[in-house]
Chains A and B, each alone.
Chain A
């Protein structure tokens, strides 16, 4: 189908975008790359009264690493993350996840802010943001509001962003030394929505024992969830086959996936066990 009617504007600055959003009211939406919103419009699942086009706003496409961590601007394209070979070590999960989003033309246009604000339960970047303990930065006429990833996602396609707030980016905190991360997902075909996914960040002691682990799961709840029991069981352990399998088992046992026409709950739980095991095995075997 064709998108429903809406009013449209393309402001020149973030400030102007915010005042237009305030003027337009709660049924207005921001559009950037449009790779999530346009299908919703075509399917008439979303009927915004106004669209505020932020796709060309300057200053929101920064991908910047500093002593306080990594800043990812809302307009950073998935392809830019995917191609940034400096996103290795502690940031690797971000790059691996970006490479698995939709298809190549979608990744060239889709944005970090768009995907996270859209908050699809099967989306990759929300899972990475959860594992990496990112903080989202929302701007309104009242100033900036910082929202931890653990509070940001409110349900399927829902976040705690207010109508007149614009997500301008996220800050990923600087990792402890000896931290690495990976991302794993399963989808029936390349580019399909994932049935289940996991992002794991792991910090080790000098002798290889786990100092801390953060394991986030996607596709098994309304929002990304942490596998707390699996994280705890790894604490102080070497990543032996036994420890890896036990963590995978606990991650699967601790999540409560729903089932739909594509995959049942038991199947998704098995996928989680497999994906967490794969992720941890890679963290053990890959430098």
Chain B
């Protein structure tokens, strides 16, 4: 029996690079960011987070740059990932969503309003990461239990709010998105 491998092969891009991109070379490749084609010119060592910010998409924050804080969370082919732990060139041909998405997806729209209403941010540095993490979760698991939401939100750090207002906001957005039947 072969188990369906839920989107493990989510990378749709057919692109390969079968000759070496040298350390000093800049790769040229395309991404789709928030439904817009984006042409990137960056060395192999450039992280996806840096590449996005160099495109002016500075809503994606750089916190720790080592995968601890989650401030740089974006959606890669629909899944929340830490963009500091992905090389930009690894995302070649992929579809990305960031907090700048306009018009926002229905999840992002509901979450933004809920964050506002529930005081789920103070300084705002972590907010875009939390929003994209929650977008990914609520899209993938619309019926996630409060315990599951809490567990997933533990992926990102917030030094201001203590986290509880963020949890409340995400649960409120979830209720709105699922028609209040939870």
Contacts and interface: CB of A to CB of B under 8 A. Distances in A.
Given A10-B16, A42-B84, A103-B154, A56 B11 contact: yes
B64 to A, nearest CB: 9
A228 interface: no
Contacts, number: 150
Interface in A1-41: 1-12, 16, 20, 24, 31, 34-35, 38-39, 41
A264 to B, nearest CB: 24
Interface of B: 1-3, 5-6, 8-9, 11, 13, 15-24, 27, 43-47, 50, 65-67, 70, 73, 79-82, 84-87, 89-90, 92, 133, 136-137, 151-152, 154-155
A132 to B, nearest CB: 17
A29 to B, nearest CB: 13
B18 A9 contact: yes
Nearest to A111: B8
A146 interface: no
Nearest to B50: A2
A1 B82 contact: no
Given A43-B66, A61-B8, A108 B24 contact: no
A80 interface: yes
A69 interface: no
Nearest to B23: A5
Contact of B9 (A5, A61, A63): A61
A65 B1 contact: yes
Interface stretch (A47-55, A206-214, A250-258): A47-55
Given A3-B87, A66-B1, A190-B154, 14 more contacts: A5-B43, A10-B89, A11-B17, A24-B20, A55-B90, A56-B11, A64-B3, A76-B5, A79-B6, A80-B6, A104-B133, A105-B81, A105-B82, A108-B80
A147 to B, nearest CB: 24
Contacts of A1: 65
B1 to A, nearest CB: 5
Contacts of A8: 17, 20-21, 27, 44, 87, 89
B10 to A, nearest CB: 9
Nearest to B44: A8
A39 B65 CA distance: 8
A66 to B, nearest CB: 8
B20 A38 contact: no
Nearest to B65: A42
B6 A83 contact: yes
Query: Which residue, A6, A65, A80, A104, has most C-beta atoms of chain B within 10 A?
Result: A104
